[in-house]
Amino acid sequence: MARATIEDVAARAGVSVATVDRVLNARSTVRPLNVKRVEAAIRALNYHPDRLAARLARGREYRFCFVLPEGDNVFMKGLEDEIAAHTSHLAAERVEADIRHTDVFDAAKLASALDAIHGYDGVAVVALDHPRVREAVNGLMARGTEVVTLVSDVPGAARAHFVGIDNSAAGRTAATLMGRFLGGRGGKVGIIAGSLALRDHAERHFGFVQVMGQEYPSLQLLPLREERDSASRTGKATRDLFAHHPDLIGLYNVGAGTDGIIDTLRQAGRRDAVVIAHELTAFSRAALMDGTLSAVIAQDPGHEIRSAMRVLMARCDRQPILAAQERISIDIFLRDNLP
C-alpha cells in the first residue's frame, strides 16, 4: 500500500489540509470535534508525517546548543568531536549545533550559562544536580526550548529526557569487578570522583559503596577524594593515597582525570593494585594494554550525541521518542576485548 498523505487524512476526516496541519502542530485554533476527526483518521490510515519534508518546505531549521564542561576532560573532548561529526552529517536536514563551555562544577556559573541561552530550539547540557541549575533548565523549557541532560542528570527538573547510562549500575559493576579481581584479598580501596554534586558521580559512588559493603567486607573503603575531574588533581590524589596507605590494593576513579592517575602509577612503577576507571580514551586504552588499568567501564560518546540530537529533533517535531533506540549501554573493556 502507498504511504498515506496529509491529503488522505484530510479527505477521511472531512476537513481541510490546513486543519490537519494545525492539529499535527498542536495549534489551539482547531475545534475539538475536528481534532477528534483528524486524530481518528491518522490512526485509521497509520499516517506518519514527513517531518523533514515539512521543515524543508517551510524553510525551517533547528539550532541546538551543547553546554559542556571546560577543562581537560578527555571524554568531553570526545563528545565535542562527535558533535562536530554528527552536525556535519545532519547539515542536509537543516540542523545546526553550537558548543558552549562553562564550569559545570559551579552551580551559579552553570545556571548563568543556561539563562544566557536564547534563540535555540534545543539544549543538551552536562548538568549539576542543584536547585539553581534545575530552575535554569525549567526556565528554558518554559520559554519553549527543549532540554536534554547529557551524561549527568537533574531528575527533578522539567527536562525532556536524560541521555546517559544507568550510573548506579555502573558503580555496582565497578565494585563487582574490583572484588573479583582482588580474589578475597584484604586491604584498602581508594575512591576518587570529580564531585558528588554531579548526579552521575554520586550514583556511581552509591552503587560502588553498596556492593562493596554487602559483598566484600574484607575490603576497607577510604574516604572519597573529590578532584573536579582534573588530571593534575587526580594524579596528586593518587600519590597521596599510595604514600599514606601502604596496604592500598585497589583504586576506583568514578569520573574523569584518569590520565593523571595513569601517569602517576607509571612514574611510580605500580602494577600491583587493581585500578578501575571510566571511559575508553587513548590514555585508558594504552593503560589497559600495559596493565596500569585493570578494567574500564565505558559509555559510547557517539551513541550519546546521536541520541541527544534525535531526542531534540523528535521533541521539536512533536514525535514520540523510541526508548529502546535511546538506551545507552554500559560497556566493560579489558585488555582482551578492546575494539
What would the pLDDT profile of 111-163 be if each residue is shown by its tens digit? 999 999 999 999 999 999 999 999 999 999 999 999 999 999 999 999 999 99
The predicted structure's pLDDT at residue 101:
98
In this structure, are strands 95-102 and 122-125 parallel, antiparallel, or unpaired? unpaired
What nine digits make up the cell of 8? 488522505
Assess whether 228 and 128 both reside in one domain.
no
Q: What is the mean pLDDT of residues 35-39?
A: 90
Assess whether 174 and 246 both reside in one domain.
yes
Output the domain CATH number for residue 148: 3.40.50.2300
Q: Is the pLDDT of residue 231 over 60?
A: yes
Assess whether 71 and 146 both reside in one domain.
yes
Average pLDDT, rounded, for the chain: 93
Q: What is the mean pLDDT of residues 175-197?
A: 97
Residue 5 pLDDT grade (very low, low, confident, very high; cuts 50, 70, 90): confident
pTM: 0.84
Q: What is the mean pLDDT of residues 186-204?
A: 97
The predicted structure's pLDDT at residue 32:
87
Q: What is the mean pLDDT of residues 233-256?
A: 97
Residue 55 lies in a domain: no
Assess whether 248 and 312 both reside in one domain.
no
Taking alpha carbons only, the member of 267, 337, 334, 315 closest to residue 144 is: 315
In this structure, are strands 274-278 and 331-333 parallel, antiparallel, or unpaired? unpaired
Tell me which DSSP letter residue 96 carries.
Answer: E
Cβ-based neighbour number of residue 255 at 10 Å: 26
Provide φ and ψ at 201, rounded to 5°.
-70, -40
Residue 293 pLDDT grade (very low, low, confident, very high; cuts 50, 70, 90): very high
Assess whether 112 and 158 both reside in one domain.
yes
Residue 223 lies in a domain: yes
The predicted structure's pLDDT at residue 320:
77
What percent of the chain lies above the pLDDT cut of 70?
95
Q: Which domain holds residue 221?
A: 167-298
Number of domains composing the chain: 3
* pLDDT tens per residue across span 46-75: 887 766 555 555 556 899 999 999 998 999
Assess whether 203 and 293 both reside in one domain.
yes
Taking alpha carbons only, the member of 186, 129, 164 closest to residue 278 is: 164
Residue 200 lies in a domain: yes
Assess whether 30 and 76 both reside in one domain.
no
Residue 334 lies in a domain: no
Assess whether 93 and 207 both reside in one domain.
no
The predicted structure's pLDDT at residue 130:
97
Q: What is the mean pLDDT of residues 256-271?
A: 96
Of the ranges 43-57, 141-155, 278-292, 317-331, which one carries the lowest mean pLDDT score?
43-57
Residue 56 lies in a domain: no
Q: Is the pLDDT of residue 308 over 80?
A: yes
Provide φ and ψ at 198, rounded to 5°.
-80, 125
The predicted structure's pLDDT at residue 50:
65
The predicted structure's pLDDT at residue 53:
58
The secondary structure of 194-249 as a DSSP string is S-TTSHHHHHHHHHHHHHHHHH-TTEEEPPPEE-TT-HHHHHHHHHHHHHH-TTEE
Assess whether 317 and 208 both reside in one domain.
no
Residue 29 pLDDT grade (very low, low, confident, very high; cuts 50, 70, 90): confident
Assess whether 112 and 126 both reside in one domain.
yes
What residues are paired with 125 via a beta bridge? 67, 149
Burial of 137 (0-12, 13-18, 19+ CB in 10 A): buried
Q: Is the pLDDT of residue 300 over 90?
A: yes
Q: What is the mean pLDDT of residues 204-222?
A: 97
* Higher-confidence position of 321 and 157: 157
What nine digits make up the cell of 274? 587493581
Taking alpha carbons only, the member of 148, 170, 150 closest to residue 329 is: 170
Q: Is the pLDDT of residue 319 over 80?
A: no
